[in-house]
Amino acid sequence: MTVSPDVDRLIRETRRYEFADGLRDLQLAMLLGLGGLTAWLVFEPFWMTFVVRMAATYGRWAAWVGILPALVPPLVVLGMLGVMRVLRRRWLWRESGMVSPSRWAVPRRVNVLSAVILLGGLAVGLGLLKLGLVDASFLLRMLWTATGWSFGYTLLAMGRHLDLPRYRWLGLTGGILSTALLFLPLPFAQSSLVFGLLWCAMLAGSGLITLRRAALYRGAAGGG
């Protein structure tokens, strides 16, 4: 090597490597999908009735069953991390090498702004409620809409920072579709489910397309 290396390109490509096979998208899809499903289940009246009946029949300790669904998403995501490691070591990254990514994929200001968007959305919802322009269910729906804006912005920033066009599109589309939740007359439990399934479908689609491309590229490169 005699010429000066393109340092910016090397840094960008190494940061992007973690997202190049679509497994991160699939992991996020699972987290949001299961998160939405759990929130729906926990806030649905039939679940509450079931937990109360369990406690009445088997004693107070049985009420702990009520919080079990909340443990499912983090456990599945942790399990998915193990699956990702094995898939990458044995198949996807066998020829190109292993990388442990940095903890933060985007600069700190993106995380700060993302939190500001979430809190700002909630503040707007609270303000409108105080003024009597909306009802309480609007504020609850705003919780998911603001989360969608915040997450969409993070994806958009990641797309820009890492030069990943699919994240720009995901962030933009997800942010816009999350706004639509505000205008759907749904109770909190159902808006949680719609929010989770919406993001899950978009991220799973993006992840599967990217994974297929990565697998085809490996096949063409003779990696099997």
Q: Which positions lie near other proteins, rule CB under 8 A? A: 1-5, 7, 10-15, 17, 89, 93, 95-103
Taking the complex as a whole, the smallest distance from the CB of residue 16 to other proteins amounts, in Å, to 9
Taking the complex as a whole, the smallest distance from the CB of residue 178 to other proteins amounts, in Å, to 31
Q: Which is nearer to other proteins, 99 or 123 (CB)?
A: 99
**Contact call for residues 156 and 102 (beta carbons, < 8 A):** no
What is the signed CA dihedral for 160, 163, 166, 170, rounded to 10 degrees?
A: -20
Taking the complex as a whole, the smallest distance from the CB of residue 154 to other proteins amounts, in Å, to 19
Taking the complex as a whole, the smallest distance from the CB of residue 103 to other proteins amounts, in Å, to 7
Alpha-carbon 185 to chain mean position: 24
Whole-number Å distance between alpha carbons of 161 and 1: 27
**Contact call for residues 66 and 42 (beta carbons, < 8 A):** yes
Q: Rounded to whole angstroms, what are the CA distances from 24 to 19, 124, 189, 197? A: 6, 32, 27, 17
Q: Which is nearer to other proteins, 15 or 218 (CB)?
A: 15
Q: Which is nearer to other proteins, 85 or 168 (CB)?
A: 85
Q: Which is nearer to other proteins, 14 or 137 (CB)?
A: 14
- DSSP labels for 158-214? HHHHHT-HHHHHHHHHHHHHHHHGGGS---HHHHHHHHHHHHHHHHHHHHHHHHHHH
Q: Which is nearer to other proteins, 3 or 78 (CB)?
A: 3
Taking the complex as a whole, the smallest distance from the CB of residue 18 to other proteins amounts, in Å, to 8
Residue 133, helix vs strand vs coil: coil
